[in-house]
Amino acid sequence: MPPMPETLTLDRLEKRFGTAPPAVAALSLTVGAGEMLGLLGPSGCGKTTVLRMIAGLAAATSGRILVGGRDITRQPAHGRGMGLVFQNYALFPHMSAAANIAFGLQMRRLSARDIRDRTRRALDLVRLGPLAERRPKQLSGGQQQRVALARALVIEPNVLLLDEPLSNLDATLRADMLAEIRDLQRRLGITAVFVTHDQSEALAVCDRIAVLRGGRLEQVGTPREIHDRPASRFVAGFVGRVNQLPAHRAADGSLSVHGHALPGDSADGRAGTVQLLVRPHHIRLDAPATAVPDGDRLRVGGVLRDRIFLGDRTTLTVMVGPTPVSVEWQGSDPPAALAPGDPVALSWRRTDMSVFPEDDPP
Amino acid sequence: MNADEAAEALPRLALASLILPALAVTLLTFLWPLLRLAGYAFHEGAPGGAIGADWTLVTWAKVLGDGWHHRLVLNSLALAATVTALTLAAAYPLALAVHRSPPRWRNTLVIVFVSPLLLSAVVRSYGWLPILGDQGVVPGLLRSAGIEPPPLLFNGTGVVVGLVEILMPYAILSLLAGFGRVAGDLEDAAASLGAPPFTVFRRVILPLSAPGILLGGLLTFVLTVGSFVTPKLLGGGRVPLIATEIHDQAIVTLDWPVAAVLSLVTLLLFGVLLGAYGRVIRRVEEAIG
């Protein structure tokens, strides 16, 4: 049986290279026991550096890393007992799949019998039993990925660290592998950190997501919190698709978008130019005549410019003044009578909208 | 019609004719002299550098039956084994450091380590005289440390030291050429799985660098067997080798048939060595995937 999962705590972790701005700045995070935390951000945001510091492959400039309360910041990589899955798998080319998996067990000086049994079980866990003696280059990308996963899991790591593990797989394989990783991690109850630049991967498999930007923590929360209540324009734009509508906020908090007055949000925030952020699937589209007034919904008018049929949904582009707004229409066809050039009414629930000041950079 | 189709449309003979110039040069400058050399070996040398007119196996019998020549071959093989081992030991850490250095440094480092090749081996061999000579730097240091230095020059030691230094650039280049599979993330993976640094080296870096070691070893061995300038200068005539003997027979004694036989024996030796290398490297490549 795997050992009890442990928490992973990063305490004001910092990494500097020379005099450049820190690659990772004062990062504090806790990953709960058995939790899968996503580290999400664009390339260069420092997420891989964070992972390498956790694994002991890069030294922290300052701050601490704790596993189950033990400070491991100064421990060398080979003493940390972390399971690491690399973007390119990093399988040993001169060893068979079974030998790759057995390597970590040999380092722990287990008996030959234990090593054989546990290697066999790990191979079965990732459904590679029949391919045990194949060399990495005789395996497909997905099979190599599963060997890498088994190699990291067989040592019963304190923490499983996954560095963009799916980026070298094609789209269909990626979805399967994503489900498999999630399933294994839940079944084994292992604490895990999943580094990715792909927001859909993070939303799909992580219990919580930490969004990094320029080495700083932008927001941490459940996928739904990150998606529905982004803390900044950056998070809103990075996680999921979002419309940005410039608007003016008056002193009483009321908003206006290209002449359409909207009842104000709670009158915090200053007056001035703001950005309204609404996700395409939160917007309802009606012909102006059929639009039913609804006190709960904010409403603006626009002109339909384009419609794209995508099978299970239709994406429509509506011009609100000079700003294109995309609207996602799920399920059946939107009103067929609506043709490009027709006036339409857009509406969304107040709670589905985020308002950010103009000076919050996207 | 694209280029591939054009190439296919050409008759094979026309394509083959494209290698004719290169073939002609090779035949003229390599194969022809080699055949002439082989020819000399089947004649007998006469005093004053003359070559007998009759075809004969006398020279072969003379050379192969002489224990002195057996010793020369064994000396050369023993020296080559020693020099190869020491050169690889000295070049390996440097080559590994170059291989692991960041790309923007790598080219500069390669140039630094290979730059000794810009100086002739003769000059570099002479350079060792004031270092290893009786009143030189190294014996001086040993004396100041209270140790009576053993003779370091005009014996086997001097030849080994000189050859190791001269052959290191070749060894570094061929090691680098064979280091393609040694990758930093494999070392990281091994470390994360619990391997301390030396185990990472033994289980991952060393096996994956085997092609480089083999290539560097072959090159160093062959170059040592073939070297005669450095053994002459630093051996002071006291380190008899097959290459120096060929030189002496051809230039001093003017017995070209004997020189030719010794050359062909050396050539045969290299052929056997290359064949063995081919077999071993194929098995190694298979073993390390």
Q: Closest Cα partner for A140 from A172, A103, A163, A118? A: A172
- Whole-Å CA distances, B58 to B35, B41, B255: 19, 9, 13
Q: What is the pLDDT of residue A2?
A: 53
A50: Cα separation from own chain's centroid: 15
- Asked if the C-beta of B77 comes within 8 angstroms of chain A's C-beta atoms, the answer is no
- Whole-Å CA distances, B180 to B174, B184, B190, B208: 11, 11, 18, 8
Which H or E run includes A217? strand A216-221
Q: Closest Cα partner for B125 from B86, B165, B91? A: B165
CA distance A217 to A145: 29
Q: Closest Cα partner for A177 from A155, A156, A157, A147? A: A147
Interface test with A, best of B100, B193, B208 (most A CBs within 10 A): B193
Residue B188 and residue A57: Cβ atoms within 8 Å?
yes
Residue A90 and residue B287: Cβ atoms within 8 Å?
no
HSE toward the beta carbon, residue A168, CA cutoff 13 A: 15
Low-confidence ranges of chain B (pLDDT < 50): 1
Residue A81 and residue B287: Cβ atoms within 8 Å?
no
Tens of pLDDT along chain A (362 residues)?
456 889 999 999 999 988 888 899 999 999 999 999 999 999 889 999 999 999 999 999 999 999 998 999 999 999 999 999 999 999 999 999 999 999 999 999 999 999 999 999 999 988 898 999 999 999 998 899 999 999 999 999 999 999 999 888 888 888 888 888 999 899 989 999 999 999 989 998 999 999 999 999 999 999 999 988 888 889 988 888 888 888 888 877 778 888 777 776 555 567 788 888 899 988 888 877 666 666 778 888 888 888 888 877 888 899 988 888 988 887 666 666 778 888 888 888 888 888 888 776 66
Q: What angle do CA B81, B86, B88 make, to 5 degrees?
A: 95
Residue A77 and residue B183: Cβ atoms within 8 Å?
no
Q: What pTM did the predictor assign?
A: 0.83
Domain boundaries, given as residue ranges, for chain B: 60-288
Amino acid at B90: A
CATH superfamily, domain B60-288, is MetI-like (1.10.3720.10)
Residue A86 and residue B193: Cβ atoms within 8 Å?
no
Q: Do B165 and B128 form a contact (C-beta atoms < 8 A)?
A: yes
Q: Do A108 and B194 form a contact (C-beta atoms < 8 A)?
A: yes
HSE toward the beta carbon, residue A100, CA cutoff 13 A: 36
Residue B194 and residue A81: Cβ atoms within 8 Å?
yes
DSSP 3-state of A13: strand
Q: Do A36 and A44 form a contact (C-beta atoms < 8 A)?
A: no
* Residues from A in contact with B at Cβ < 8 Å: 55-57, 76-84, 86, 88, 90-95, 103-104, 107-108, 135-137, 151-152, 155
Nearest CB neighbour to A155, from listed B191, B194, B287 = B194
ipTM of the complex: 0.83
